[in-house]
Amino acid sequence: MRAKRCRGFALLVLACLIVTPSPGLAAFGDDTEKPAPEFTRKGEVVTATLIPRAKSTSVDIDVRVSGGTLDEVRAYDFENARRPEVDIKDYKSGLFEIRIRDVNTSGEARLSMTSSFFTSGTELWIFNPKRPSAWMKVDAVETISHPGGAYELAVRAADGGDFDADGAADGRMTVIAGPRDSFWGYALGTLFIRFAGIFVVLAILMIGMVLAGRVFQVMERRGVTAAPAPPPPETVREARATGTPAEVEPELAAAIAGALHLYFRSMRPDTVDLGVPDGSAWAQSGRMKIMEERFLVFNRRAR
- pLDDT over 70 at 245, yes or no: no
Q: What does the pLDDT read at residue 19?
A: 47
Beta-carbon contacts of residue 144 (< 8 Å; ≥ 6 apart): 151, 152, 154
DSSP at 67: S
pLDDT at 27: 42
Kindly indicate the confidence band of residue 15, based on its pLDDT and cuts at 50, 70 and 90: low
Where b means 16+ CB within 10 Å and e means fewer, 122-131 reads bbbbbbbeee
- Inform me whether the pLDDT recorded for 243 exceeds 70: no
Element (H, E) at 199: helix 183-221
Mean pLDDT score across all residues of the chain:
80
CA triple 259-262-265, angle to 5 deg = 145
pLDDT of residue 64 exceeding 90: yes
Mean pLDDT across 168-177: 91
Cα of 61 vs its chain's centroid, Å: 35
- Whether 233 has a pLDDT exceeding 80, the answer reads no
Q: What is the pLDDT of residue 240?
A: 56
Mean pLDDT lowest among 52-61, 150-159, 191-200: 191-200
Query: Where residue 140 falls among pLDDT bands split at 50, 70, 90?
Result: confident
Q: How confident is the model at residue 250 (pLDDT cuts 50, 70, 90)?
A: confident
**Please, are residues 157 and 140 in contact by the beta-carbon 8 Å criterion?**
no
